[in-house]
Amino acid sequence: MNILRLQTADSTNTWLKENRGEIPPMTLVCAFDQSAGRGQRGNTWESEPGKNITCSFHFNPDDESGKPVRPAQQFVISEAVALAVVTTLRDFGIDACVKWPNDIYAGDKKICGILIENSIMGQSISCSIVGIGLNVNQDIFLSDAPNPVSMSMIAGHSFPLEDVERALGRNLELFIGRIGQYESLHPEYIRNLWRGGGRLFPYRDAASGRLFSASIEDVEPSGHLILKTEGETRRFAFKEVVFVL
Ligand code: BTN
């Protein structure tokens, strides 16, 4: 994967949206300083200049995997990106897993956030803009993000940012190349889930506020989480259920 390094960008996702015509697909656009990083649900994304990876790339699933991705199955893109990040962290000795739907956790803390913005044309995804914020060398976080952590905080030393960027680019290429092979990609995603492995954990139903204990049974191609509670399975969209820490 080619890497394009920008000194500054408000948000690499926004920058790519505006400049997509000039940037070849599968080019990792990294900003040294991202001044207005965007997170999920309208949140901001904190990143100290020069310390972390804040990057985005765009691609058309049909071109990269030879198969169109239907809107109802677009979660496969999240699965591939999450696995690429987990693999990259492991390449550098950091154990990580995927907190459904696509946060990356090291222990019980968030080390990476992913923001995917898809455009739909007809019956398929015509363009996916994938943004990744991976905390590498930042040791102090000032925002009210609940539980941030970085690679350096875990390892006790810093990492050469460009080495991590290159490894991430390689792994993204590998995993995006597999989005047409859902049958092998999906079990790998499930195996790497935080609080997976059929174990029981506490959850809160966001609508009723009710606490319940459940294990993860599966994640549907749409991204819905299937939880197994006593005697029944329940299906949740993002934000409908909260993991209780
Ligand atoms: C989250 O809220 O967990 C998603 C965070 C995504 C942050 C990355 S940093 C690079 C890219 N550009 C953005 O503005 N956001 C994403």
pLDDT mean for each 10 residues of the chain (245 residues): 97 97 97 96 94 98 91 97 98 98 96 97 96 98 91 98 98 96 97 96 96 96 95 94 93
Q: Is 147 helix (H, G, I), strand (E, B) or coil?
A: coil
Q: What is the pLDDT of residue 125?
A: 96
Please, are residues 140 and 126 in contact by the beta-carbon 8 Å criterion?
no
- Type of residue found at 182: Y
82 closest CA partner among 103, 60, 56: 103
Apex CA 14: angle with CA 33 and CA 3, to 5°?
60
Q: What is the pLDDT of residue 245?
A: 86
* Ligand 1 atom showing the smallest separation from residue 43 Cα: 2
Pocket test for ligand 1, best of 35, 102, 109, 115 (most atoms within 8 A of CB): 115
Q: What is the pLDDT of residue 230?
A: 85
Q: What is the pLDDT of residue 7?
A: 98
Pocket test for ligand 1, best of 54, 103, 164 (most atoms within 8 A of CB): 54
d(CA 46, CA 5): 19
Q: What is the pLDDT of residue 21?
A: 95
Q: What is the pLDDT of residue 3?
A: 98
d(CA 97, CA 30): 23
